[in-house]
A and B are shown apart, each in its own frame.
Chain A
Amino acid sequence: MASYKTNEFKGGLKIMLDGDPYTIVENEFVKPGKGQAFSRVKVRNLKTGRVVEKTFKSGDSVEAADVHETDLQYLYNDGESWHFMDTETFEQLGADASAVGDAAKWLKEQDMCRVTLYNGAPLSVEPPNFVVLTITQTDPGLRGDTATGGTKPATLETGAVVNVPLFLEEGESIRVDTRTGVYLSRAKEE
């Protein structure tokens, strides 16, 4: 496995620490004018998301983590795993609940997702920034109140619940920003 020296450290670099894959968030070069140089880094554990600080002696080497990101198409959930496909090689990969995490509530079949692979297996899944989903349940809006900004909760086909304007009804499709979970607009019928 390849390794990196401290002078190659930069934000985004994927390294192995104590058996877990990490990404470098921030690297600070620290050196007294007449003394030992250090790399003081903030790193995020790619499994737990926790950010910790580490100090390395300049010139030390760290093992590279076999981590890379790829765009995969979400296929289906069999009750245990979420299955994704590489649309070029047609290779299929299963991701478990810990990898999918909160992304699960936005995953719609056929959508392309950014999947982080660690040693070839999905480590985390990022849904598309914007998704179009159908409302499966919402209370009827109050008559006459069509444009005055009130909202109500609506359950979407993937299970996510978002606040939508009162005039929307079951069966309608809406655009949602998955990063904030905020309703954006009615989706155009395709």
Chain B
Amino acid sequence: MADHWRPRASLAAVRARARLLAGLRGFFAERCVLEVETPILSAAANPDPAIEPLHLDADLTGAGPGRWYLQTSPELPMKRLLAAGSGPIYQVCKVFRADERGRRHHPEFTMLEWYRPGFSLDDLMDEMAALVRCLAADAGLAEERITYRDLFRDRLGVDPSSSQLQTLQSTAVEQGIASARALDLDRDGWLDLLLSHCLEPHLGQGGLTFLHDYPPSQAALARIVPGERPVARRFELYWRGMELANGFDELADADQQRLRFEQDLAVRAGRGQAPLPPDGHLLAALGHGLPACSGVALGLDRLLLCLCGHDHIDQVLAFPVERA
């Protein structure tokens, strides 16, 4: 196309991005959180089965050809810095994910990730809300916090951990997803379907909504609190019907971490996904000792969408992949 040399985002959106970056750097400087950089390319990859990394085959060390994975998030190397005693840190970086393209997805996007030693998950939600209020220049921006279980019980009348799969399926059909009859999903798949189709559009419409305390099966790298009804200490931030951020009370136990990597790799193998080299450096760092901390990753492009009042990610990208 003749005009494809032009930016897709308006120049106003380009300027809004610059203001956003300056604003968040000011916010963290004031709070003495250190800005850091870690590599985009790594010999290891996070084996999370829900996220597919891109890779590059090249000889980067002079020691022969190797496979390098583009980061899907800077989480693993940042935890190595924390284990080495960095104190609170943040990073703004590009991350990459294969097979993700849509109105709210772009294979390359900008992530803000930060870690707070000594913070509980609630402390981190407080700071997250303060950051968004600061960037939106709206000190009165409301917020609500609701657990995953209460959200499903209140809005859909199902219990995420105890309802039968058939109940989850018939709820999806009742909610207007007629084709749910033909879907073959596991429990987390049904919960993801209900959350993304029926619940998410209503979240964060009156301000910020923190959804927290996830089923242990969706813990990812969050600490699990045992008990009669164990939960993963994880939160997601929603604003204007859109998922913006994912935070964890970070898992610090090296053996637990090794086990989750193994479980993830087993799930990948079962689904026919490529195996990935787990991060031995991270396991060594956890073995050395990760301070108790909470951390969160925020999609800056989506936050910018909210701040600019746009609804397609391309509206805040200078050059989306089709014009890159």
User: Which residues of A come within 8 Å of B, CB atoms?
Assistant: 7, 27-38, 40, 52-58
The contact sample of 19 A-B pairs, CB cut-off 8 A, is A29-B105, A30-B102, A30-B197, A31-B105, A32-B196, A33-B236, A34-B246, A35-B188, A35-B189, A35-B191, A35-B192, A36-B192, A37-B50, A38-B197, A54-B178, A54-B179, A57-B183, A57-B184, A57-B189
Contact B195 A32 (CB under 8 A): yes
A-B pairs under 8 A by CB, number: 77
- Shortest distance from the beta carbon of B237 to any chain A beta carbon, whole Å: 11
Contact B189 A7 (CB under 8 A): no
CA distance A36 to B178 in the complex (A): 18
Identify B179's interface contact among A7, A34, A55, CB under 8 A: A55
Most chain B CB within 10 A, of A52, A53, A58, is at: A53
Q: A54-B179, A55-B177, A58-B99 are in contact. Are A33 and B192 (CB under 8 A)?
A: no
Contact B178 A53 (CB under 8 A): yes
CA distance A57 to B172 in the complex (A): 14
Contacts of A7 in B (CB 8 A): 99
Interface residue tally for chain B (C-beta within 8 Å): 32
CA distance A54 to B197 in the complex (A): 11
User: Which residues of B come within 8 Å of A, CB atoms?
Assistant: 48, 50-51, 99-105, 176-180, 183-185, 188-189, 191-193, 195-197, 200, 218, 220, 236, 243, 246
Contacts of B179 in A (CB 8 A): 53-56
Q: A30-B197, A55-B177, A55-B179 are in contact. Are A36 and B102 (CB under 8 A)?
A: no
4 other A-B residue contacts (CB within 8 Å) besides A7-B99, A55-B177: A29-B101, A33-B236, A53-B177, A54-B178
Contact A28 B102 (CB under 8 A): yes
Q: In this complex, what residue of A is CB-closest to B272? A: A59
- Shortest distance from the beta carbon of A138 to any chain B beta carbon, whole Å: 47
- Shortest distance from the beta carbon of B162 to any chain A beta carbon, whole Å: 19
Contact B48 A36 (CB under 8 A): no
CA distance A33 to B222 in the complex (A): 14
Contacts of A34 in B (CB 8 A): 48, 50-51, 218, 220, 246
Q: In this complex, what residue of A is CB-closest to B243? A: A33
Q: In this complex, what residue of A is CB-closest to B48? A: A34
Contact A55 B218 (CB under 8 A): no
Contact A30 B196 (CB under 8 A): yes
Contacts of B180 in A (CB 8 A): 55
Q: 10 smallest A-B Cβ distances: which pairs?
A: A29-B102, A35-B192, A36-B192, A54-B179, A36-B189, A30-B196, A55-B179, A34-B220, A32-B192, A33-B246
Identify A31's interface contact among B100, B191, B246, CB under 8 A: B100
CA distance A38 to B188 in the complex (A): 13
- Shortest distance from the beta carbon of B190 to any chain A beta carbon, whole Å: 9
Q: In this complex, what residue of A is CB-closest to B186? A: A36
CA distance A55 to B48 in the complex (A): 23
CA distance A52 to B182 in the complex (A): 15
Q: In this complex, what residue of B is CB-closest to A7? A: B99
- Shortest distance from the beta carbon of A20 to any chain B beta carbon, whole Å: 14
Contacts of B184 in A (CB 8 A): 57
Q: In this complex, what residue of A is CB-closest to B99? A: A7
CA distance A52 to B177 in the complex (A): 10
